[in-house]
Structure 1
Amino acid sequence: MRVPTDNSVDWTTQYGWYMDLPDSGERVISPAVILGEAVFFNTVVPDSQICGFGGSGWLMGVDLENGGELDEPAFDVNNDGVINNADYLTQSGV
């Protein structure tokens, strides 16, 4: 799980926000999709072996205005067919 920051954007001096992708070689290679106040995009993390295949990636959903955490859940995490507060992920520790 990744938790984005909610840094404010000063639109008088900045053109928008950006996100540092933490995994080595990670990149976005397809267009983002905007739905309401959210932007969704996939990232790709290539295999660490130069001739390897596969890899991994993330499906990201962030606030359109600042690239931060969404105010409401965006995915049916508990698979009950409803997107609601029961779909919030919690994490503890470091």
Structure 2
Amino acid sequence: DSAHSLWLYFGTGRYLSNGDKTDTSQQYLVGLKDPYYNGLLSDTERGDLLLAEPLHAYQPIDESTNNLLFDTTGVSVYTDGSTSIAGTTFGDLKMEQSYDERYAYGWYKELESGERIINKPSLLGGILLAPSFVPNQDVCGFGGSSYLHTLYFETGTAFSRSVVGVKDEGGKDRVLDRIDLGLGISSSLGLHVGRERGARGFIQQSTGTIAQIDLKPAFSIKSGFVNWREV
């Protein structure tokens, strides 16, 4: 990030046995910040953060402490920069991740019932791309459905403009942070950056279907002219 902190992204859950099909225990998608490389911190401050233990996601949040992971579950972001948190803009959410604010350790998002992360996420142009899977819970059935989470890397929410699409909600455009990939278990995301605007992602389902997703990352991912001068 802008302070040179290293971010680690991971999800929880598994799909290895028949028992896993009916497991609906709460799983998470997590963005965890390692402040070791943060050039804004003194050696003492960096050491204090490295020794501290962030509150676990399943514990109640105590706002009197600063070793918190921001719970992004259910937070919506709109194209006008507002969010579903009253009085809080997308810019405010970014500011909360600075060292001296409450959410200095990163964020977590609760997944839907039965949903889990079983493949490695990708990061492109400031957007975390994390495929997830919800099994068919019928022990005699097979397969399930896959989804793709598209989250801004610092906030764990949607970005402030469209990455994979928007949805009208009461006259405001909500930026999508999760899309349906259809039936089957999805692979990790393959990314292609070509001449088209943005980028393109490819995911193969266990059904054999290959899903193609057009992406508009938060940051520029291509080189090009910034300006020119006639001599």
TM-score strictly above 0.5: yes
Count how many residue pairs are aligned between Structure 1 and Structure 2: 78
- The structure 1 residue matched to 2:159, chosen from 70, 87, 90, is 70
Residue 84 of structure 1: aligned partner? none
> Which of structures 1 and 2 has the larger relative contact order (alpha carbons within 8 angstroms, sep 6+)?
1
Which structure 1 residue ranges, 5 or more long, are not aligned? 76-86
What is the CA distance between 1:15 and its match in structure 2? Answer: 2.8
Does 2:132 align with 1:54? no
Amino acid in the other structure paired with 1:38: I
Task: Please state whether the residue corresponding to 1:19 is helix, strand or coil.
Answer: strand
Residue 120 of structure 2: aligned partner? 31
Amino acid in the other structure paired with 2:156: G
CA distance in 2, matches of 1:90, 1:33: 27
CA distance in 2, matches of 1:22, 1:55: 14
Which structure 2 residue ranges, 5 or more long, are not aligned? 1-72, 76-89, 171-231
CA distance in 2, matches of 1:4, 1:63: 15
The CA deviation string for residues 37-78 of structure 1, in whole angstroms up to 9 with x for no partner, is 210111100002023111112111011001011122112xxx
CA distance in 2, matches of 1:34, 1:45: 22
Closer/same/farther in 2, CA of residues 65 and 4 from structure 1, 3 Å limit: farther
Amino acid in the other structure paired with 2:166: Y
Output the aligned Cα RMSD. 2.4
Q: TM-score, normalised by structure 2?
A: 0.30
Q: % of aligned pairs identical?
A: 28
Does 2:193 align with 1:90? no
Amino acid in the other structure paired with 2:115: E
- The structure 2 residue matched to 1:40, chosen from 129, 140, 147, is 129
What is the CA distance between 1:33 and its match in structure 2? Answer: 0.9
Write 1 or 2 for the structure with the bigger share of strand: 2
8 A Cα contact 1:4 1:62, kept in partner: no
8 A Cα contact 1:26 1:44, kept in partner: yes
Amino acid in the other structure paired with 1:18: Y
Q: TM-score, normalised by structure 1?
A: 0.66
Task: Please state whether the residue corresponding to 1:51 is helix, strand or coil.
Answer: coil
CA distance in 1, matches of 2:159, 2:74: 9
CA distance in 1, matches of 2:136, 2:97: 34
Does 2:93 align with 1:15? no
Closer/same/farther in 2, CA of residues 31 and 40 from structure 1, 3 Å limit: same
